[in-house]
């Protein structure tokens, strides 16, 4: 479904990615890992065409993304839950969800059944929600676009344990339903058991790809600092 080959990405003159390879097959959950500042968010921004790669190729669902704008990548079926959530503050929960709706299996009723709290808060403005509720809204909003691939960037960061559990339960349900997922998250104890493959980034390069079961203690020490 997604094949990223040797991408190199810059912020102005400053190079952040020096050659990242990764792929996500249909129905797979791929964990994108690495310490702080190693290039995970930049890889995601490159895939979504928010910070386009200068070199290398990204092919999604058979189409090369070169030259596309970010909204066009979204239209092809790449759904992003960005770091920091970015809900529409001046819209209600229901309006946030309906604003991005596109036809498919995910609709308002289904999103609210995944996150009942969103249904309870349907008429509330997004900026009055707790951080955890905003995160659920960000995931729900991405699902409303009916993405072929859903990308989650640190979706459980900084949340209370009980809320994190709700979000992990939702991610597991999505995976069980066959949703293709690319996930960045530091909670490896939750992420690894549901990942089909892991890609480790180090200084803007993909340095290891494999099954979670092959991720040895030495690799974790060397690249993840855990």
Closer to ligand ATP by CB, 118 or 199: give it: 199
Two structure tokens written together for 66 = 């070169």
Name the strand (E) or helix (H) holding 14.
strand 14-24
- Residues that bind ligand ATP in the complex, under the rule CB under 6 A: 11, 14, 16, 34, 36-42
Closer to ligand ATP by CB, 43 or 96: give it: 43
Closer to ligand ATP by CB, 41 or 96: give it: 41
Report the nearest approach of ligand ATP to the CB of residue 30 (Å): 15
Name the strand (E) or helix (H) holding 6.
strand 2-11
Separation between Cα atoms, residue 158 and residue 186, nearest integer Å: 11
Report the nearest approach of ligand ATP to the CB of residue 84 (Å): 10
Report the nearest approach of ligand ATP to the CB of residue 24 (Å): 17
Nearest to 42, CA basis, from 29, 56, 28: 56
Closer to ligand ATP by CB, 17 or 171: give it: 17
Output the CA torsion sign for 192, 111, 135, 183: positive
Task: Tell how strand 180-184 and strand 29-33 pair up.
Answer: parallel
Report the nearest approach of ligand ATP to the CB of residue 91 (Å): 27
Closer to ligand ATP by CB, 6 or 100: give it: 6
Report the nearest approach of ligand ATP to the CB of residue 12 (Å): 7
* CB neighbour list of residue 30: distance below 8 Å, 6 or more residues apart: 22, 23, 24, 181, 182, 183, 195, 196, 197, 198, 199
Separation between Cα atoms, residue 218 and residue 2, nearest integer Å: 29
């Amino acid at each position: 479904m997604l094949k990223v080959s040797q991408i190199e990405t810059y912020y102005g003159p400053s190079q952040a990615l020096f050659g990242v390879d990764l792929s996500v097959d249909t129905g797979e959950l791929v964990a994108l890992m690495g310490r702080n500042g190693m290039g995970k968010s930049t890889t995601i921004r490159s895939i979504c065409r928010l910070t386009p790669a200068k070199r290398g190729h990204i092919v999604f669902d058979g189409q090369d993304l070169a030259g596309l704008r970010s909204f066009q990548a979204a239209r092809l079926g790449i759904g992003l839950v960005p770091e920091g959530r970015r809900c529409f503050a001046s819209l209600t929960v229901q309006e946030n969800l309906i604003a991005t709706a596109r036809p498919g299996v995910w609709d308002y009723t289904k999103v609210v059944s995944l996150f009942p709290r969103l249904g309870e808060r349907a008429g509330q403005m997004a900026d009055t929600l707790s951080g955890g509720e905003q995160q659920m809204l960000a995931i729900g909003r991405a699902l409303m676009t009916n993405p072929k691939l859903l990308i989650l960037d640190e979706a459980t960061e900084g949340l209370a344990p009980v809320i994190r559990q709700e979000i992990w339960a939702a991610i597991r349900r999505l995976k069980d339903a066959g949703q293709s997922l690319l996930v960045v998250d530091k909670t490896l104890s939750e992420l690894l058991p549901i990942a089909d493959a892991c890609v480790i980034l180090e200084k803007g390069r993909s340095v290891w790809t494999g099954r979670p079961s092959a991720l040895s203690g030495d690799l974790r020490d060397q690249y993840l600092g855990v």
